[in-house]
Amino acid sequence: MNSIFDKIEEFFTTLLIGMIEQNLTGLLTDVNSKVGSIAGEVGTTPQSWNSSIFTMIENLSDTVVVPIAGMVMTAILCYELISMVLEKNNMHEIDTWMFYKWIMKAVIAVYFVTNTFDIVMAIFDIAQHMVDASASSINTTASVDIDSSVSAMIDGLSGKSVAELAGIALETGVVRLTMSAISIVITVILYGRMIEIYLACSVAAIPLSTMANKEWSQVGTNYIRSLAALGLQGFFIMVAVGIYAVLVNSITVTDNIHLSVLSIMTYTVILCFALVKTSSLAKSVMNAH
């Protein structure tokens, strides 16, 4: 009779250890693959991230937004000319240089509107240079050694009862689901940033068309700051991944499965939190609203 119970216990022990090993392998694989893709995603320019979307946005800008920006620019230039004339004692002190100044503003405004995408992409090229330069200084290799880590944690399961193994299996299953959710959040942050870049670029001509007037130029200035913040966010993401890499590489995986899993999950949650904060931090640095 005892041998039957021993066989049943051995069966459930083997089953639960297999479940635990599968959960550990799955969660570490998810973490490694997602964190490993961050540097690649951030290190991609809007043109190369998705050329089809970029082409669509550029066509929308040229065919829909630029004509509207031209009307906005014309209205602002007319307002600017009227303001300049009225400033000179209601046209009693008109200076010829005033009209040259207005023509220069008009030329600059036209250049901004007609070369919108070149200007916008130049901002992201500078940001991309920062990201590429940081990659040589920041260690973004943040992968956890799956084989050795899982082996070390599985070794600590020997001698545990079926009840304890069931609890550990449930714990690792919950952690795996949590890590999958964190992976989704990281994906949303990375993809959301690129989509935000595309959305901002799609209407770039309108805020840039306001640069000819001192009062209205605040719109264009803040827009440029917002673009710079999106570019700077990529640099902050690289720094966050570098910090995560240092923390993960310092983890010593032992046979204490609870502590080991908790350490990996904690650092990954910290990484996710840091990635969430990169947007607001970049906007704060650039004073973008």
Asked if residue 90 belongs to a domain, the reply is no
pTM: 0.78
* Residue 202: inside a domain: yes
Q: How far apart are CA 224 and CA 218, in angstroms?
A: 10
Is 224:123 a contact under the CB 8 Å cutoff?
yes
Task: Give the whole-angstrom CA distance, residue 134 versus residue 170.
Answer: 40
The answer to the question of residue 267 being in a domain is yes
Asked if residue 72 belongs to a domain, the reply is no
On whether the CB atoms of residues 127 and 234 are closer than 8 A, the answer is yes
Query: Can you tell me the distance from the alpha carbon of 247 to that of 230, in angstroms, rounded to the nearest whole number?
Result: 26
Nearest-angstrom CA–CA distance, 233 and 277: 9
DSSP string, 151-217: HHHHHTTTT--HHHHHHHHHHHHHHHHHHHHHHHHHHHHHHHHHHHHHHHHHTTHHHHTTTTSTTTH
Q: What is the pLDDT of residue 66?
A: 86
Residue 111 lies in a domain: no
- Total domains present in the chain: 1
Reading the chain (289 residues) residue by residue, the pLDDT tens digits are 556 766 666 666 777 777 777 777 777 777 767 766 777 777 778 888 888 888 898 888 888 888 888 888 888 888 877 777 776 655 556 666 777 777 888 888 888 888 888 888 888 888 888 887 777 666 555 555 666 666 766 666 666 677 777 777 787 788 778 878 888 888 888 888 899 999 988 888 888 888 877 777 788 888 889 988 988 888 888 888 888 777 776 666 666 777 777 777 787 888 888 888 888 899 888 887 7
Q: Mention every residue, 6+ apart, whose C-beta is less than 8 A from residue 244.
A: 35, 142, 267, 268, 270, 271, 274
Q: Is residue 105 part of a domain?
A: no
* pLDDT for the residue 26: 75
Residue 100 within a domain: no
User: Are 243 and 216 a contacting pair, CB within 8 Å?
Assistant: no
Q: In terms of residue numbers, what domain contains 59?
A: 28-65+116-286
Long-range Cβ contacts of 102-109 (<8 Å, 24+ apart) = 102/77, 105/77, 105/80, 105/212, 106/77, 106/212, 108/211, 108/212, 109/73, 109/76, 109/77, 109/209, 109/211, 109/212
| 22 in a structural domain | no
Q: Give the number of other Cβ atoms within 10 Å of residue 242's Cβ.
A: 19
Helices marked H in the chain: 2-42, 46-49, 51-60, 66-87, 96-114, 116-135, 146-155, 162-202, 205-208, 217-249, 257-286
| Distance from C-alpha of 26 to C-alpha of 94, rounded to nearest angstrom | 76
